[in-house]
């Protein structure tokens, strides 16, 4: 059977994938970038509401989940956030815990969730979590959900092209409720074109830090 382990190097506390030769999050400020790209990019917290469903391509260290749940709690939401993530090469709980130590601001949340890592599904009073393990090109087409927001967080399109291909972007669009959004740190032309070809309204907006642009895509309400 093929090796499904993640394979990590550590650079100053940041995990770098040896399989993809790319860091899991920005070497400069991963949390600020996550907040800018995935939270603000998806119009959060303003669009949050009971039952809001986020899906993610690439669970990695769990940083995006922690940042989303932190915002959910900080913004005083009631009810339950749903978070479904697609991951082919899960990190071990030990690797996740070590990576999350880079973000002291999230330490209380990281500590609360630490005993749950390694489980493919769990629930807290305000969170329903599921990790669907396997290659998203195979698992997403079979998944029945329709979400309110996507975090498109593969490694860079040059190093992880399979997580950005046109068929998969069409599947992302198919698994969006009318009015749902998708956000990504990349502004690569082929990714934007694939999202547009899948029927989404695609915008290029200011990126985080040194990245000039990022991408936001919306599913038109009329196309429901």
Ligand X SMILES: C[S@@+](CC[C@H](N)C(=O)[O-])C[C@H]1O[C@@H](n2cnc3c(N)ncnc32)[C@H](O)[C@@H]1O
The contact set with ligand X (CB under 6 A) reads 24-25, 56, 58-64, 86-89, 135-137, 153-155, 160, 162-163
Shortest distance, CB of residue 47 to ligand X, whole angstroms? 20
Kindly tell me which of 167 and 201 has the beta carbon lying closer to ligand X.
Answer: 167
34 and 25 Cβ atoms separated by less than 8 Å: yes
Give the strand order in the sheet containing 213-218.
Answer: 121-124, 127-133, 81-87, 53-57, 147-152, 176-184, 213-218, 201-206
Shortest distance, CB of residue 127 to ligand X, whole angstroms? 15
Kindly tell me which of 34 and 178 has the beta carbon lying closer to ligand X.
Answer: 34
Shortest distance, CB of residue 160 to ligand X, whole angstroms? 5
199, 201, 217 from 194: Cα distances, Å? 9, 11, 11
Shortest distance, CB of residue 48 to ligand X, whole angstroms? 19
182 and 67 Cβ atoms separated by less than 8 Å: no
Kindly tell me which of 70 and 153 has the beta carbon lying closer to ligand X.
Answer: 153
Kindly tell me which of 24 and 83 has the beta carbon lying closer to ligand X.
Answer: 24
Kindly tell me which of 96 and 176 has the beta carbon lying closer to ligand X.
Answer: 96
74, 81, 152, 180 from 70: Cα distances, Å? 6, 11, 19, 21
Shortest distance, CB of residue 65 to ligand X, whole angstroms? 7
Kindly tell me which of 178 and 209 has the beta carbon lying closer to ligand X.
Answer: 209
5, 16, 74, 137 from 10: Cα distances, Å? 16, 6, 30, 28
**Of 223, 186, 185, residue with least CA distance to 201:** 223
**Of 35, 217, 62, residue with least CA distance to 127:** 62
Q: Which helix (H) or strand (E) holds 124?
A: strand 121-124
Shortest distance, CB of residue 19 to ligand X, whole angstroms? 7
């Amino acid at each position: 059977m093929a090796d499904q382990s993640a394979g990590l190097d550590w650079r100053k506390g940041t995990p770098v994938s040896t399989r993809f030769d790319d860091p899991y999050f920005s070497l400069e400020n991963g949390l600020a970038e996550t907040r800018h790209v995935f939270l603000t990019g998806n119009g959060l917290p303003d669009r949050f509401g009971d039952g809001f469903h986020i899906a993610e391509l690439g669970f990695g260290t769990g940083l995006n989940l922690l940042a989303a749940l932190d915002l959910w709690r900080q913004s005083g939401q009631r009810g339950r956030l749903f978070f479904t993530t697609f991951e082919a090469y899960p990190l071990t709980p030990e690797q996740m815990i070590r990576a999350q130590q880079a973000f002291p601001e999230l330490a209380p949340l990281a500590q609360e969730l630490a005993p749950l890592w390694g489980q493919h599904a769990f629930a807290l009073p305000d969170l329903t979590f599921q990790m669907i393990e396997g290659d998203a090109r195979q698992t997403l087409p079979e998944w029945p959900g329709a979400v309110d927001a996507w975090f498109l967080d593969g490694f860079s399109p040059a190093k992880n092209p399979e997580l950005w291909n046109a068929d998969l972007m069409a599947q992302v669009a198919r698994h969006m409720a009318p009015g749902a959004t998708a956000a990504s740190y990349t502004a690569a032309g082929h990714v934007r074109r694939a999202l547009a070809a899948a029927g989404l309204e695609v915008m290029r907006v200011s990126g985080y830090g040194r990245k000039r642009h990022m991408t936001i895509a919306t599913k038109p309400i009329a196309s429901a």
